[in-house]
Structure 1
Amino acid sequence: MQNAQQGMILGGDLYFDFLTDAGASTGFGLAGNANRLIPKVESETLENKLNGRDTLGQTGDSYTRITSSTISFTMNRYDPDIVAAFFMGSAVDLPAVAAEAYTATVTADHGEWVSIGTSRLVTCVVRNSTDTITYAVGEDYEVDLLLGRIRTLAAGDIVDAATLHVSGTAAGPYTATVTAISDKWVPIGKDGLATCVVKNADNTLTYTVNEDYEVNLRLGLIRVLSGGDIVAGATLNISGAVEAATGRKITGGTRPVINVGLLLDGKNYVNGANVKLRVWQAQIRGDGDFDLLAQDGFPALQFSGTMVTPAGKTAPFELW
């Protein structure tokens, strides 16, 4: 802070260092947008009261001592790590879906979509019939990864009616065996499904979706319909492809102690001066509720915690 007297209207980026259980740094990063940040020093005053004829109720001695240093903050935008901290858990990467290789041979038809024979593609490479030329997507052809088809472009290097070799990877396969329960949703064991095929126990009969069963691809649930051909209690073999997933999953209620280092890179908009706050270690916890179905505004994460003075430091925080 500057030496001169000043008022403060601050904006700033709050960086988080999620410390390991041993207190080691994992590096600083932005975890969202902090719209409230309150460092506070708690204290109590001890008073020695007088009880004399003319001094009853007066204070003979007084001593104020620091009891703790606390910090509270609110995040109205957040990444998985800070959400995990609110729920006293961890954020882990979603498991990678094992991709399945595919190959196909198709005939170019300028301006028309040609099916590759495999849908839900992850990658797609197009070569000539001798595999000596690799064509450029967007210049020589377009590809629809979801439906698994390509369209050659007349302005590109692919000759109309040419034989093309197409290869790449598609969404990974899955298999499952479940027991039918009429009109109730049953977990398949995988979510984020791309396709779902349901057969009987010996794989001799393929059932019809929306007649014999319904499927929720997002959640990986199947519901056998009582008016269909599947008997309650029957064993069903299920197979298909899983969508490629990205992101992180939060496992809540697994870490009772969460320590972070904090660094505020702030600016005083009154005079343009820099303002910084450094908290070496704060043991934080979530406060209040986080309404996942809030409709009256963006829900915020509220935190509070105790600032700790680690070994080698003489104060729990610095503000300058």
Structure 2
Amino acid sequence: MSGLLCAGDLYLDRLDDNGNRTGYRKVGNATRFAINEPSERQQRTGRGRENYGQVLDDVAIKQPSTLAITLDEVDKTNLAYALLGDAAAYDVTGSSVTDEEITAHMGAATQLANRNIDDGTAVTATGEGGSPSFTEGTDFTIDYRLGLLTPIEGGAISDGDAVLVSYTFLDASGNRVSGGVKPQIRAVVMLDGKNLADGSDILVTVDEARITPDGEVDFLSSEFVPLPMTGTMRLLPGKTAPYTVDLPSAG
């Protein structure tokens, strides 16, 4: 016999909307994987002269099995878990835009239809009908990376003016998480663990967990951001338990 002090790799196999498995994925550094088995007690107590307050019957009623997970590696997939979202790649092909119409706001920026503006080509801006012509640096500024146009105080652009902007934007690609599109995340969960107390293996498998966030994702935290989640376990048809813990024999 020994104590339990585990190291382990956590894997999640997210189920799609039809309940199909999409494959195990190691979630990186998991700092918490805890299982809780709560019960609710129902007691009948005496009210008689000699037994007032004494327990006459005591029944423990099983409550749903729950788990808690905390991840501290943030990528598109883990972030999608924590934000109840979907993750997908995006790929934008650069092109040129002629006379995109925007409304100018003095003291504030207006978002162009595209980001990643090519700073090696001219950005031109005019009033409606092509006149007058506005000059970058005198009448407006451009944030090329974000695609923001800001009129300059004292320039020729007035608040509320319609401005026609022509520019070229560059190719862009990456990953995008669409947050808040799922009520919960369904996944098969597996912990491939090792008990450091005696070197033995321990394998925990949860057939299906319904996972929801257990806290905020603070994008401006001054510390590394954890991704805490909690979930309930479902007993699948034909199964006798919602999860198993295997302790393989050595040898």
TM-score under structure 2 normalisation? 0.86
Alignment CA distance shift 1:287-1:173 (3 Å): same
Alignment CA distance shift 1:30-1:78 (3 Å): farther
Consecutive unaligned residues in structure 2, runs of 5 or more: 247-251
Candidates 153, 176, 183, aligned match of 1:249: 176
State percent identity of aligned pairs. 30
- 2: CA distance between counterparts of 1:55 and 1:97? 77
Alignment CA distance shift 1:9-1:245 (3 Å): same
Q: Tell me what 1:213 maps to.
A: 140
Q: Is the CA contact 1:31–1:78 (under 8 Å) kept in the aligned structure 2? A: no
AA matched with 1:11: A
Matches within 5 A, 1:40-119: 40-94=36-90, 96-98=91-93
Report whether the alignment pairs 1:185 with 2:109.
Answer: yes
**Cα offset, 1:30, TM superposition:** 1.7
- Structure with the greater alpha carbon radius of gyration: 1
**Cα offset, 1:19, TM superposition:** 0.9
Q: Tell me what 1:129 maps to.
A: none
TM-score under structure 1 normalisation? 0.69
Runs (4 or more) in structure 1 with deviation over 6 Å come to none
- 1: CA distance between counterparts of 2:133 and 2:3? 74
Candidates 252, 261, 267, aligned match of 2:194: 267
**Cα offset, 1:211, TM superposition:** 2.1
Report whether the alignment pairs 1:223 with 2:145.
Answer: no
Query: Residue 193 of structure 1 aligns to a residue in which SS?
Result: coil
Report whether the alignment pairs 1:237 with 2:159.
Answer: no
Consecutive unaligned residues in structure 1, runs of 5 or more: 99-171
Alignment CA distance shift 1:222-1:35 (3 Å): same
- 1: CA distance between counterparts of 2:221 and 2:123? 37
Output one character per residue of 1:207-262: Cα deviation in whole Å (capped at 9) or x when no partner.
Answer: 4432221111222111121333445514322211224222x112222211321111
Query: Residue 85 of structure 1 aligns to a residue in which SS?
Result: helix
